Amino acid sequence: MPGSPRPTDVMVSCMASLIRDGESVYHGLTSQLPLLAMAYAWRRLGRRFTWLSVSESYMPPPETVRVLPSSGGPYAEPYGAGVVTTMDVFDLAAQGRIDVMFFGAAQVDAQGNTNLTVIGSYERPRVKLPGGAATAYLFPLVRRIILWARHDRRTLVERVDFITGPGRVRVERGLETLLCTNKALIEFTREGPILRALHPGISVEEARAGAGFDLLVEGEPRVLEAPDAIGMAIIEEHDPHGLRYLQRYG
Amino acid sequence: MPGSPRPTDVMVSCMASLIRDGESVYHGLTSQLPLLAMAYAWRRLGRRFTWLSVSESYMPPPETVRVLPSSGGPYAEPYGAGVVTTMDVFDLAAQGRIDVMFFGAAQVDAQGNTNLTVIGSYERPRVKLPGGAATAYLFPLVRRIILWARHDRRTLVERVDFITGPGRVRVERGLETLLCTNKALIEFTREGPILRALHPGISVEEARAGAGFDLLVEGEPRVLEAPDAIGMAIIEEHDPHGLRYLQRYG
Amino acid sequence: MPVAAEKLVGLREAVELVEEGSTITVSGITFSRNPTALVAALIERGARGLGFVDREPGLALDLLVAAGVVSSVRAAMATLELYGLAPSVRRAVEEGRVGFLEDTCGAVIAGLRAGAYGLPFMPVAGVLGSQLVELHEREDTWRVIRDPFGGGEVVAVRAIRPDVALIHAHYCDPYGNCVIEGPRYEDELKIRASRLVIVSAEEIVDTDALRRLPHPLSSTSLHVDAVVHAPGGAWPTAMHGRYGADWGAIEEYARMAREGRALEWFSKHLRPRLSGWGW
Amino acid sequence: MPVAAEKLVGLREAVELVEEGSTITVSGITFSRNPTALVAALIERGARGLGFVDREPGLALDLLVAAGVVSSVRAAMATLELYGLAPSVRRAVEEGRVGFLEDTCGAVIAGLRAGAYGLPFMPVAGVLGSQLVELHEREDTWRVIRDPFGGGEVVAVRAIRPDVALIHAHYCDPYGNCVIEGPRYEDELKIRASRLVIVSAEEIVDTDALRRLPHPLSSTSLHVDAVVHAPGGAWPTAMHGRYGADWGAIEEYARMAREGRALEWFSKHLRPRLSGWGW
């Protein structure tokens, strides 16, 4: 019997639901949740897309994908239809041919800017974060960026301490920027961040209280579909040891 | 019994003698003579160098090399130790790590400039030549360039009709530029073109008469060594059908 | 961009994708891995007035020019090697029927890299001092700029983005995931720099045949628009590991092309092969 | 540049080539194909104060920082992935002992390309709008320039030319002709961009074993200065087609490094392996 969906699993299905048929989708390092979302989109939602990865394994049979402590090693997506390098994918991105990329963030602000660089000042860091990896490079280039982050006021801030990913550039250019948190789905728009959907059992007020910026609401936000038993079975097949919960999104 | 050496064969051994141990040596298209020179340098002169080619075949066993109508196809140097692309070699050249390159020329002038572009004006060509290929790119980059050309006043001119290869840049930078003709070996220097050596039986006067620019002479020019019987046997092994004579250098 | 859409089409369908006024590029060099099947189909279709860009083309270009398919050329060299100047190209340029912008290998590579990498331009080493610089500054394809980090003058090459790449590969799956073996020349860049990519292949294989290849794919389905099965599709040029150049046919081409009879050669040798490639 | 000189040396000799004050780069990413044997030898040698540049380093970098070998870092990300921030890097940077210039993947690739291609700089797409631009303009590693062909502003990245590349490969001949299988990351660029290249390999093979490979060599003898035989030389990181990451050892590393005991882990796990690699 698969377990009950936890907020982490709802994040996975939320991210998965944002992938559309025919798109080219890339995930990077420390991206266990995006990896699961891609597998979920393929297997549970029946989405068909081009699967690209920092592991340079291209179009692995989704059934064979496994969550490991690294989402970039050769054994997470071991049976790809060939090696396609990250350089190759990033060149496609520069040509505007990559549709979807996932990014984590330590801070996200009202404009969709993200910070993966530093808490405090760059010169005197309070916390030295891991760095944005491809964030700065890809933010102006990829059609749809799917962020994931914790839904609290330390993470969802009025202004990021450092603009690693220029969300403002994206919003200005009309590129889609969506954020899956452990409470909600937020979209960054010219009008501001809009609360698009909520995890089951989370209220608008709760979502607003957890954000350090104003969340716009248009009508009644949808309720995100939690993975059902089939969906949970799929997630657990890919992550039997529950490594996805280690990032403590609940 | 191998045949007697003809001027073409002396050109081959002349070019071969300019390759030194330890160098990186590349040849391009329509380079049947350089190909033979590289094989001759390796086998007859015992020179050991890194063999690179437009055919992208790296370090072929020199014994297996064959003269074909194309010096760029996969069967002229078929048993390379791997594929090394022209791009890779040209990047090494940009870093100053390619020592020797061969170039043909329809015209060569007193400064070592070469023309492979056009006879007449570019806009109204009397003869549209094949184009310089890598000439313009590599002239400022490669340590030693070995040119080959016909020794007559149509080819060795006071000024080329079009500067495809900027020999002047080479001379100014102290890069070596040598020309093997069917009569002589000429080096382009800051002082001007110097007659370094003559084919057997060719006089200084004859060499000077065949050049449209002044040839400097320092002392008595050397006489180039024609391939001996062993050398001719090697050349004929690589080119049993005498394709090397088709370019009519004699 | 459809993903798993099959792109396997006939030769006729494939070359119908080439729009009027396009600039094309081809795989291979002089007498190696030219996409002859695709070129033959383009000629048979009666395409006219296309542009052409490549580093060191040979047979394919001369044929295309002889047939009037190509009316402007940018290349570092156009040669039939030991068989002399490319006769149709030479004649057409000398008679002013075809424009020719001479380039140089390193700069063609730089331009294709910029195109493939999604960049507006790339610097290139060397070149300065050649009169080619004047030609290209006039065409606005090169600019001499200052290294922004203080290293002096350098030539910037504007991105080369051919409209169409015609590529002959060793094998390809129906989605456009292809593998070229042996010499690559700049074909993997051409695939990435071009807006529309047509791959003909010696063999069409299942995607499974590509799994666990130790080396990167030459193209992915994201790069390729149409796939054609054309065994022997580089003939009479050489195909690494499969067949050598047919020197008899090539020598005959060179002779006939010098006599202005390139199209006769086409009718005699290439046209009859079209049906074998499913025309 | 000696050609056919054998470059096969012991681990000790190899790392003695790394000069004081050098900036190094390493193969692989986070937990894949790190050149752990070479890194261990560098630590054992007692090297200090080196610079480090890479795209997405993990274990190797954290170890080098913990050991004081590296005192300044330029990278797009330094992470132990699911095991959290790279603890030694984080601590050293927060305490001001190690300088960290954050970069971004596309720009690291552009800089390595410029280095590998012998160019002073390369443009890079994206990036504009990120505060990283200010950092790099201050360091003079990036400049916002105008596209000379009128396309607007673009970031130019100064060539990255590491002094030393430490590369772990699948196989290599004694001359430095090496082959990497599976994911390449930017290792083939690192080999070409670096002034001195040390390759450790799972297998040392005859040159004949490389003949008729269908794909280009990862390095040639022209690129490589020293070759070391180090089977298992990426442990505990993964080696495509040969072995997976040793997650137990890596988890233990992460835990001990967080406690400031990274060097204890080194003594317990990596130092004992040095003799197996001929130290």
Q: Is 70 exceeded by the pLDDT of residue D137? A: yes
What is the domain range of residue A221?
7-247
**Tokens encoding C36:** 């002859």
Per the confidence metrics, is the pTM higher than 0.90?
Answer: yes
Is residue B74 pLDDT above 70, yes or no? yes
pLDDT band at D1 (very low <50, low <70, confident <90, very high): very low
Which residues are CB-neighbours of C252 under 8 A, at least 6 positions away?
C265, C269
* For residues D34-50, average pLDDT: 97
Question: Which residue pairs, CB below 8 angstroms and at least 24 apart, start in D146-149?
Answer: D147/C120, D147/C121, D147/D123, D148/C121, D148/C143, D148/C145, D148/C156, D149/C120, D149/C121, D149/C140, D149/C143, D149/C156, D149/C158
pLDDT of residue D213: 86
Residue-range domain boundaries for chain C = 11-103+162-274, 121-158
Number of domains in chain B: 1
A85, A87, A117 ranked by CB distance to D102: nearest: A117
DSSP per position, C40-62: HHHHHHT--SEEEEESS--HHHH
Burial of B126 (0-12, 13-18, 19+ CB in 10 A): exposed
**A–B contact (≥3 CB pairs within 8 Å)?**
no
- Residues from chain C contacting residue A95 (CB–CB below 8 Å): 118
Span of B197-211, B226-240, C209-223, C248-262 with lowest mean pLDDT:
C209-223
The CB-based long-range contact list for A216-224 (8 Å cut-off, 24+ gap) reads A216/A191, A216/A192, A218/A194, A221/A184, A221/A195, A221/A196, A221/A197, A222/A185, A222/A196, A222/A197, A222/A198, A223/A197, A223/A198, A223/A199, A224/A10, A224/A13, A224/A14, A224/A17, A224/A185, A224/A197, A224/A198, A224/A199, A224/A200
Closest Cβ–Cβ partner in C75, C90, C250 for B69: C250
Please give, rounded to a whole number of angstroms, the shortest distance from the CA of A142 to a CA of chain C. Answer: 13
d(C-alpha A148, C-alpha A153), whole Å: 15
H/E element, C191: helix C187-193
Q: Which residue of D has its CA nearest to A32?
A: D82
Phi, psi of C113 (to 5 degrees): -60, -50
Residue A1's pLDDT is 81
Contact list in D for residue C120 (CB cut-off 8 A) is 123, 147, 149, 151, 154
ipTM: 0.97
**A12 is a domain residue:** yes
Is residue A18 in some structural domain? yes
The answer on pLDDT for D102 being more than 90 is yes
DSSP state of C270: I
8 A C-beta contact, residue D21 and residue D162: no
CA dist., res. C44 & res. D86, Å (int): 62
**Cβ atoms of C277 and C38 closer than 8 Å:** no
User: For residues C120 and C114, is the Cβ–Cβ distance under 8 A?
Assistant: yes
Which contiguous run of DSSP H or E holds residue C271? helix C271-274
Distance of CA D222 to the CA centre of its chain: 19
Q: How many CB atoms lie within 10 A of CB C208?
A: 11
User: What fold does the segment set D11-103+162-274 form as a domain?
Assistant: Glutaconate Coenzyme A-transferase (3.40.1080)
Q: Using a pLDDT cut of 90, give the percent of chain A over it.
A: 97
A125 domain residue, yes or no: yes
CB nearest B97 (choices: D210, D212, D222):
D222
Sole residue written with tokens 């404009």: A111
- In 3-state terms, what secondary structure has residue B7? helix
Rounded to 5°, angle at Cα C25 from C22 and C30: 145
- Residue B2 covered by a domain: no
Q: Which residues of chain D are at the C interface, by a Cβ-Cβ cutoff of 8 Å?
A: 113-114, 117-125, 140, 143, 145, 147-149, 151, 154, 156, 158, 179, 181-182, 184, 212, 214-216, 241
Tell me the mean pLDDT in the region D86-108: 97
Lowest mean pLDDT among A218-222, A236-240, B225-229: A218-222
Whether C118 sits inside 8 A of A81 (CB atoms) is: no
Q: Indicate which CATH number applies to the domain containing B78.
A: 3.40.1080.10
* Interfacial D residues in 65-84 facing A (CB < 8 Å): 75-79, 81-83
What confidence score (pLDDT) does residue C112 get?
A: 98
* Statement: residue A80 has pLDDT above 90: yes
pLDDT tens by residue, C139-192: 999 999 999 999 999 999 999 999 999 999 999 999 999 999 999 999 999 999
Cα–Cα distances in angstroms (integers) from residue A57 to residues A37, A84, D18, D106, in the given order: 17, 6, 33, 19
d(CA B44, CA B25): 17
Sign of CA dihedral C187, C192, C195, C196: positive
Name chain C contacts of A92, Cβ cutoff 8 Å: 118, 192, 222
Beta strands in chain B (DSSP E): 24-27, 50-53, 100-104, 107-109, 114-115, 118-120, 125-128, 144-149, 156-157, 176-181, 184-189, 192-198, 222-223
Q: Which of D93, D130, D131 sits opposite A128 (nearest CB)?
A: D93
Q: Rounded mean pLDDT of B18-42? A: 98
CB atoms D127 and A126 under 8 Å: no
Place of tokens 């590991």: C241
Confidence of residue C4 (pLDDT cuts 50, 70, 90): low
Q: How far apart are CA C114 and CA D114, in angstroms?
A: 12
- Chain C residues at the D interface, defined by Cβ less than 8 Å, are 113-114, 117-125, 140, 143, 145, 147-149, 151, 154, 156, 158, 179, 181-182, 184, 212, 214-216, 241
Alpha-carbon distances of A3 from A9, A211, A229, A241, rounded to whole Å: 10, 29, 8, 12
The mean per-residue pLDDT over the stretch A108-120 comes to 98
Whether residue B177 is contained in a domain is answered as: yes
Q: Do D117 and B93 touch (CB under 8 A)?
A: no
Distance CA(D127)–CA(A140), nearest Å, equals 7
Partners of residue B216 on adjacent β-strands? B194
Residue A93 contacts residue C118 (beta carbons within 8 Å): yes
**Tens-digit pLDDT profile for residues A163-216:** 999 999 999 999 999 999 999 999 999 999 999 999 999 999 999 999 999 999
Strand partners, B24: B50
pLDDT of residue C1: 37
Residue D163, both tokens: 């002094």
Q: pLDDT-based confidence at C2, cuts 50/70/90?
A: very low
Which of D62, D55, D37 is closest to D124 using CA atoms?
D55
- What are the helix (H) ranges across chain B? 7-17, 32-43, 86-94, 135-138, 167-173, 204-209, 229-238
CB atoms C106 and B137 under 8 Å: yes
Given a contact cutoff of 8 angstroms between Cβ atoms, the answer to whether B133 and B165 are in contact is no
How many CA atoms within 13 Å lie on the side-chain side of D187? 30
Q: How many Å lie between the alpha carbon of D271 and the closest alpha carbon of chain C?
A: 31
Q: Looking at residue D4, what is its pLDDT?
A: 57
Looking at residue D2, what is its pLDDT? 40
Q: Is residue A2 part of a domain?
A: no
Please indicate, yes or no, if residue B1 is contained in any of the structural domains: no
Contact criterion met (CB < 8 Å) for A131 and D102: yes
Confidence tier at D279 by pLDDT (50, 70, 90): confident
Query: Per the domain annotation, does A157 fall within a domain?
Result: yes
pLDDT confidence tier of residue C5, bands split at 50, 70 and 90: confident
